[in-house]
Amino acid sequence: MRGINTWSFRPYKPFLFDTGDIYVSRLYPGERNIGLDWLPIEGEKDYTVHYRLRGGEKWQTMPVERCSCVISGLEDNVDYEIYVSSGEKKSRVRLARTGAVPGDVVVNYLHPEDETYSFSGRYLCSPSFVRLSSGAIVASMDLYAGKEPQQLSLVYRSEDNGKTWEYMCELYPCFWGKLFTHKDKLYMLSASTEYGDLLIGCSEDEGRSFSMPTVLLRGTSGFKHKGIHKNPQPVFHHEGRLWCTLEWGSWTSGAHAAMCMSIDAEDDLLKAENWHFTPPVPYDETWPGTAKGKSPGCIEGCMVLSPEGFGGREGRTLLNIMRYHIENCTPSFGLALAMRVEGIDEPLQYERTIPFPGNHSKFMIKYDEASGRYYSLVSYLTEEHPEGRNHLALISSPDLINWEKVRDVFDFRHLPASEVGFQYVDFEIEGDKILYLSRTAWNGAHNFHDANYSVFGCIEDFRK
């Protein structure tokens, strides 16, 4: 056995953990059907898929000659057990629930009681995707569960604009990751685990494998102490530098402090000494316009360039706009907080609060050159529905301050907010379309937060 010299695995196999002889790399259930893919065994061409109603007595079988199949004609909205065999070799028994899901294509699915990735987590989190110069789309998601290790991310690839997806690899350790490209290279910026080290790694083969990552900052590895907190936000290119956001803190310590990181766009991104970090700035309730009360601080900020004259200053201002929540405050929703970037090594400065109807979940804000407006996909909140993530909407603003709803994407407020969630949406503007990847809790999810689907979709003619 040799030492490890790569960040990526096909698949990652922890010592003494039952990963099965055959690895089921993707599940994508739908209405009355379940699709599954698995990795081939060298020298084997014939496989058998076994399936039955969960807890049933009799297994049904389906012989196949490739490493992919769709089991159709199933009962709808029920759980099934599935495994793949070839000769004496078998996969783990996987769980999947049939049923339609809002969105276009299921990139991946994980039943909340499926223990395949229990060494990291049991729910799909942190959706991220990027379009490569070749035209392919690469997507990732991590495996989350509260107070679990949370260290594994799965990587998939589509060659047909998201209609079909193929498993590429998985990264370990990798959590809260964002895929991005720079100079035709694919990068992953992530944490090693919740509050762990800040990592960056590179793929030279469009996501099929990744080299060992570079540690940019050391964090902690527990839940009680402060460390790196981040989310899959875009890497923002501004005046010859790449910028991204992060925080320093933890939920249990009761606070998160805002930070930014940046690097000269001509420098080597894999050399830690080339990166600069602004000092952490804790939330301060004496900032004018902020709500008073207990706050864990602002988290999950995104970089954006303001309109001309924002805040009465000449030119455009580089901002970090953050999710902002005050406990026991009325209203407890509807505000985001903008921090102003002063320099590559200078602490962020408080700018102002912004009325924003989606601050209870991570959001991205992107500027659309064609319309001269800012857009965001948010878990939409109103005075009538101030909590929950069962309403996904596209919103727009001409100035980052005055936001209006463009259209509903998914409105399931008639379903329990505790069970349904469309959240942490990563999106890209391409022509007249918005492509998105959603962390979706639906059809038997553990709860609204602990998602069982990663769903890819498209919003046509989004400016109308």
Whether the pLDDT of residue 402 is over 70: the answer is yes
Residue 62 tokens read as: 């389906």
Q: Is 320 among the domain residues?
A: yes
Q: How far apart are CA 368 and CA 265, in angstroms?
A: 22
Domain of 339, in residue numbers: 268-358
Whether the pLDDT of residue 406 is over 60: the answer is yes
Q: Which of 204, 191, 315, 354 is nearest to 261 (CA)?
A: 191
Tokens 């909590």 belong to residue: 387
pLDDT at 326: 65
Whether the pLDDT of residue 418 is over 60: the answer is yes
Q: Percent of the chain having pLDDT more than 90?
A: 86
Q: How confident is the model at residue 98 (pLDDT cuts 50, 70, 90)?
A: very high
Number of domains in the chain: 3
| Angle ∠(374,377,379) on CA atoms, nearest 5 | 135
User: Average pLDDT in the 446-456 region?
Assistant: 98
Kindly report the average pLDDT of the chain as a whole number.
Answer: 94
Greatest C-alpha distance within the chain: 73
Task: Based on the fold, state whether residues 374 and 351 are members of the same structural domain.
Answer: no
Question: pLDDT tens across 241-289, in order?
Answer: 999 999 999 888 778 999 999 999 999 999 999 999 999 999 888 888 8
Task: Based on the fold, state whether residues 53 and 143 are members of the same structural domain.
Answer: yes
Task: Based on the fold, state whether residues 380 and 329 are members of the same structural domain.
Answer: no
Residue 415 tokens read as: 């379903």
Q: How far apart are CA 362 and CA 180, in angstroms?
A: 18
Task: Based on the fold, state whether residues 336 and 380 are members of the same structural domain.
Answer: no
Q: Is 249 among the domain residues?
A: no
Contact partners, residue 293, CB within 8 Å, separation at least 6 = 285, 326, 327, 328, 329
Q: Which of 187, 213, 186 is nearest to 199 (CA)?
A: 213
Task: Based on the fold, state whether residues 65 and 205 are members of the same structural domain.
Answer: yes
pLDDT at 331: 56
User: Average pLDDT in the 361-387 region?
Assistant: 94
Q: 100: domain CATH number?
A: 2.60.40.10
Q: Is 397 among the domain residues?
A: yes
Q: Where are the beta strands (DSSP E) in 324-402?
A: 335-340, 349-355, 366-368, 373-379, 391-397
Question: pLDDT tens across 331-366, in order?
Answer: 567 889 999 999 999 999 999 999 999 988 999 999
Q: Is 246 among the domain residues?
A: no
Q: How far apart are CA 199 and CA 179, in angstroms?
A: 12
Q: How far apart are CA 363 and CA 216, in angstroms?
A: 24
Contact partners, residue 173, CB within 8 Å, separation at least 6 = 151, 152, 192, 193, 196, 199
Q: Is 137 among the domain residues?
A: yes
Task: Based on the fold, state whether residues 182 and 328 are members of the same structural domain.
Answer: no
Task: Based on the fold, state whether residues 458 and 390 are members of the same structural domain.
Answer: yes
Task: Based on the fold, state whether residues 354 and 381 are members of the same structural domain.
Answer: no
Q: Is 51 among the domain residues?
A: yes
Task: Based on the fold, state whether residues 131 and 188 are members of the same structural domain.
Answer: yes
The answer to whether 67 and 125 are in contact (CB under 8 A) is: no
Whether the pLDDT of residue 231 is over 80: the answer is yes
- The domain boundary, picked from 296, 327, 358, lies at 358
Task: Based on the fold, state whether residues 352 and 396 are members of the same structural domain.
Answer: no
Task: Based on the fold, state whether residues 340 and 377 are members of the same structural domain.
Answer: no
- The domain boundary, picked from 175, 208, 232, lies at 232
Task: Based on the fold, state whether residues 455 and 332 are members of the same structural domain.
Answer: no
Q: Is 154 among the domain residues?
A: yes
Q: What is the DSSP string of 267-298?
A: S-TT-GGG-EEPPPEE--TTSTTPPPS-----
Q: Is 304 among the domain residues?
A: yes
- The domain boundary, picked from 210, 232, 254, lies at 232
